[in-house]
Amino acid sequence: MSLFLIAALPFLGAMLPAILIRAGRNASASATGSVTLLALIGLLVHVPDVLAGRPVSARIDWLPSLGLNANFYLDGLGLLFASLILGIGLLIIIYARFYLSRQDPMGQFYAYLLLFQGAMVGIVLSDNILLLLVFWELTSLSSFLLIGYWRHLPEGRQGARMALAVTAGGGLAMIGGMLILGNIAGSYDLSVILTQKAAIQDSPLYLTALILILLGCFTKSAQFPFHFWLPHAMAAPTPVSAYLHSATMVKAGLFLMARMWPVLAGTDAWFYIVASTGLVTMVLGAVIALFKDDLKALLAFSTVSHLGLITMLLGIGTPLAAVVAVFHIINHATFKAALFMTAGIIDHSVHTRDIRSLGGLRRLMPVTFVLATLAALSMAGVPPLNGFLSKEMMLEEVAHTHWITSPWLLMAVVTFGALFSAAYSFRYIAHVFLGPVRRDYPIKPHDPNFGMWVSPAILVVLVVAIGLFPMAIAGDLVAVAAGAVTGQALPPYELKLWHGVSPALFMSIIALGGGVILLALYAPVNRLWLAARRPEAKAIYDAGIAAIERFSRWLTDLLHDGALSRYGAIFTVSILALAVWAWTTGVVGPQTRPALEPGPIAYVGWVALVASALSVAVFHHNRLLMLVLIGVSGLMVAMTFNYLSAPDLALTQISVEVVTIILMLLALNFMPQESPRESSFGRRARDITISVGSGLGMGGLIYAIMTRGFAQPSISEYHLANAKTGGGGTNVVNVILVDFRGFDTFGEIIVLGIAAIVIYAITESILGSSVRARLLNRVPNRPLAGDAHPMIMVVITRVMMPLALIVAAYIFFRGHNDPGGGFIAGLIAAIAIIMQYMASGFGWAAERQRLPYHAIIGSGVLIAALTGVGAWFNQMPFLTSAFGYVHLSGLEPFELATAALFDLGVFLAVVGAVLLALESLSRYAWQPNTVSEYPMDINPAREVGETRGKEA
């Protein structure tokens, strides 16, 4: 199975559980499990190649100019993590089916779970760091949905927000580090980056990149001081906790540290930052875990501790430490997932997770007792379970590592942490299952049905089997995964129970014996812990968030007072300041091209444009006059385009100007004639100064660009050379719009259609309010003309209608080789129809309109989309046009191009959008099935009479 399909299956299957939940909970769970199982089978197909040292890859050059390639790579490390993600994920799916109640929306849960699963698989298989970053952020978003799944619980919502804030913040830092790393290596492909160790570590940006990347890893893997979010994620359902803490979310940071080990490890900075952070996290998490009374909180802090242990091993930086880290990742995933599931079973069966309310469950829940005890003993590092093996190997590596120049300091601190780890593991057994049976359980405890304990049972079998037969079960996987981490041949080692008498053995004995003693003294030690004053990470986090919120409110109140003029002033001044800085510090260069000598027509047009623009600023309070002056400015701009040999732009400008002026006139019909005068003299002086400065700056920039050449050839040369041969048209502007940049045009017509639909939606909401009644009963401040529909205008517009449509058709068909095209033709057709509304009234025209404007917009977008999709069948990119010449007897050869279909979509979208906006505005003053002789079906005399009657 292709790596692309393995990575895509969870995303593709995410819709199945949400759909199949209507067929029942079993159908939804089965569909989810089938998707994960299929992806797991596809992964296992590649196991022989990976174990034989032949990594599997798949590549697609997505955006090669940006270095963003959809490359996937499966080696030993990717196989290890992908197996854990999909294998434990399958067990979690089975467990969740019986854990979730009927009140929980199971289809939604499984959809979120598959999205998260797909993001994690994407991370571990990505061979491009930009693609990896995309999946990295997807894990933050999808885990937010999972942690906040029980959104009716305040702690669930807070835990989800906290996890998202911390991990997404670290992700932002990691983006910067990855971009620096890719820039140093000269590629964003991991397979290339991992060969550039010397270049990366010799770079002056190495330390910056290292810190930024580690920030992303530490926040995701809950390393100190970012450890606090993980226990608060326990508000999620237990299946989520088991999945996030064992095989997925928190392991993403460990995976990335392991993946980047060949190029980032081996320096003092790596050792002291990574090893020290892991050590502190390990000890702190173990100490806090011992004193937690909530089962899931105890397990959460134990997860923090074990994550710190693995981080410390990766920080030590030796090949054998990498082997131990990989081995403990496997072991931790098995016993920790089993422990979380047993905690969920206890909560599900006893209705409490409070250890103080438990005890004596050994007799009442024997199956759960056996599973939880074996998993907890493995977590404590008791032989012959798998946790003992990796713990012994870890202690052996620590015994040979000097930390802060001391040969024994690291040994002492790690032993102290291991002692507390044993103590909280023993407490999980003793305080929950041992002791007498209580009489005050919330409900009578009992073992669950087979569906709930089969998943932890499978994991516990692995815990025991790996402990007894480590080389047979996990040896090959550990070897290839550790080899992928180090990128070199591994020294001799062996996974086995007995390593002889060594310092690690004595450290282990101290840890286990001390754990038993500490548990025996738990009551007085717990009293000391509760009496001690200590900082709370959550309180510090809440205080920090509150401070950020206060600062944000202060800054928002300072900058955002609701005045658009102020926003515009801040924005313009900021841009102007940056422009001045760039101009004074940059190298403009000498003038290389002479300016064109303008003729008298250019001077006249320039004077008219400046005069109209200044008049708009002076007379903007008079809205009608301002609209006329804006029309003059638009006309001058169109003439400028034509003067500078851009007839397409001139036609577009004139057409747009006519349509917008008509629509704005219609809107002004419902507004006062004059705007209120609110600006003070000081504000007007400020605005004039800013406007003059920005205008002069823009003029200077335009002059500098037009009188200087470019260092690189302009893209216009490419368009001119390839418009005919590549797009089949001699009108370069149109070919750009429908071929070279067709995707931009496609997006623009969608935006245009959305804008028209939004206008329609706003109109619908207003028509149902009292606003329309006030509009209908307004008193015009001037008497209207008595002839609502002048006969001469009616006759002229109806005669011009077919002529205008013929012109639109002519402009449409000539657009590929001469000035024109679908956009301009659509505007001309829209103007012709608008004239009918103006001459005969909206009611008359609307009654003759057979097609709804929404459908016209939708058909236009659909035709354009299908034209683009058609290129795929020709093995070409989306919206690549095809063309050919047809020879018919008696006629000269003529061209047929798919661009004409795309242009037809543009034409329909433009016509539909303009007329829907017109209809929306007109409906403020028009009611269907009413007849009136006044424009827009408004009778001013009747309105005035009705209004005065109401006033009387």
pLDDT at 425: 94
Question: Where among 684, 702, 720 does a domain terminate?
Answer: 702
Q: Is the pLDDT of residue 563 over 80?
A: no
Handedness of CA 561, 563, 568, 573 (dihedral sign): negative
Task: Examine residue 948 and state whether it is found in any structural domain, yes or no.
Answer: yes
Does residue 639 sit in the same domain as residue 746? no
DSSP string, 489-506: PPPP----S---S-HHHH
- Pair of tokens at residue 803: 């002529």
Q: Is the pLDDT of residue 949 over 70?
A: no
Residue 625 lies in a domain: yes
| Mean pLDDT of the chain, nearest integer | 86
829 occurs within a structural domain: yes
Q: How deeply is 144 buried, as exposed, middle or buried, from its count of CB atoms within 10 A (0-12, 13-18, 19+)?
A: buried
Report yes or no: 480 and 79 within 8 Å, Cβ to Cβ. yes
Percent of the chain with pLDDT over 90: 41
Residue 193 lies in a domain: no
Residue 249 has pLDDT above 90, yes or no: no
743 in the same domain as 690: no
Q: 876 and 749 in one domain? A: yes
Rounded-to-integer distance, Cα 734 and Cα 718, Å: 15
Same domain, 637 and 735: no
pLDDT category of residue 568 using cuts at 50, 70 and 90: confident
Lowest mean pLDDT among 50-64, 130-144, 344-358, 669-683: 669-683
Cis amide prior to 231 (ω within 30 degrees): no
Q: Is 909 a residue whose pLDDT tops 70?
A: yes
Does residue 622 sit in the same domain as residue 686?
A: yes
Please write the tens of the pLDDT for every residue from 700-727. 888 888 888 776 777 888 888 888 888 8
Residue 945, pLDDT > 70, answer no
pLDDT in tens, 825-875: 999 999 888 888 888 877 787 777 778 888 999 999 999 999 988 888 888
Does residue 643 belong to any structural domain of this protein?
A: yes
- 739 and 697 assigned to the same domain: no
- Which of 151-165, 318-332, 401-415, 840-854 reaches the highest mean pLDDT? 318-332
pLDDT bin (cut points 50, 70, 90) of residue 935 is very low
Mean local confidence (pLDDT), 691-702:
87
Q: Quote the pLDDT of residue 932.
A: 40
531 CB-near residues (< 8 Å, 6+ apart)? none
The answer to whether the beta carbons of residues 410 and 396 sit under 8 Å apart is: no
Structure tokens at 579: 């422009």
pLDDT at residue 775, as a whole number: 66
Confidence of residue 762 (pLDDT cuts 50, 70, 90): confident
Query: Considering only CA atoms, which of 381, 442, 383, 384 is closest in space to residue 414?
Result: 381
**Any alpha helices (H) in 129-153, and if so which ranges?**
129-147
Asked if residue 323 belongs to a domain, the reply is no
Same domain flag for 687 and 758:
no
Q: For residues 776 and 671, state if they share a domain.
A: no
Cα separation, 261 vs 74, in Å, equals 17
Output the pLDDT for position 772: 66
Whether residue 741 is found in the same domain as residue 879? yes
Does the structure show a pLDDT above 90 at 326?
Answer: yes
Would you say residue 259 lies in a domain?
no
pTM of the model: 0.72
Please write the tens of the pLDDT for every residue from 609-668: 889 888 888 888 888 888 888 888 889 999 988 888 888 889 889 988 888 888 888 777
Same domain flag for 765 and 869: yes
What is residue 780's predicted lDDT score, i.e. its pLDDT?
63
Which domain, by its residues, includes 941?
731-952
Least Cα distance to 348 among 290, 295, 425 occurs for 295
Tell me whether the omega of the peptide bond preceding residue 456 falls within 30 degrees of 0, making it cis. Answer: no
Judge whether residue 939 has pLDDT over 70: no
Tokens 């090959």 locate to 476
Q: End-to-end alpha-carbon separation of the chain, Å?
A: 83
Residue 896 bridge partners (DSSP): 884
Q: Which of 685, 702, 719 is the last residue of a domain?
A: 702
Of the pLDDT bands very low, low, confident and very high (cuts 50, 70, 90), residue 934 is very low
pLDDT classification of 786: cutoffs 50, 70, 90: low
72-74 and 894-897 beta bridge pairing: unpaired
Whether residues 637 and 752 share a domain: the answer is no
Q: Which range, of 205-219, 534-548, 633-647, averages the lowest pLDDT? A: 534-548
Q: Could you give the number of structural domains in the chain?
A: 2
Q: What is the pLDDT of residue 407?
A: 80
d(CA 696, CA 134): 42
One-letter amino acid of 203: S
* 788 assigned to some structural domain: yes
The distance of Cα 712 from the centroid of its chain, to the nearest Å, equals 35
Position 89, amino acid: G
Are 762 and 673 within one domain?
A: no
Averaged pLDDT, 309-321: 92
- CA–CA separation, 652 vs 41, rounded Å? 57
Q: What count of Cα atoms within 13 Å lies in the side-chain half-sphere of residue 373?
A: 13
DSSP 888: -
**Per-residue CA distances from 762 to 757, 765, 917 (Å):** 9, 5, 11
Q: Which stretch of 168-177, 572-581, 943-952 has the lowest confidence by average pLDDT?
A: 943-952
What pLDDT score was predicted for residue 380? 93
Backbone angles phi, psi at 189, to 5 degrees: -85, 130
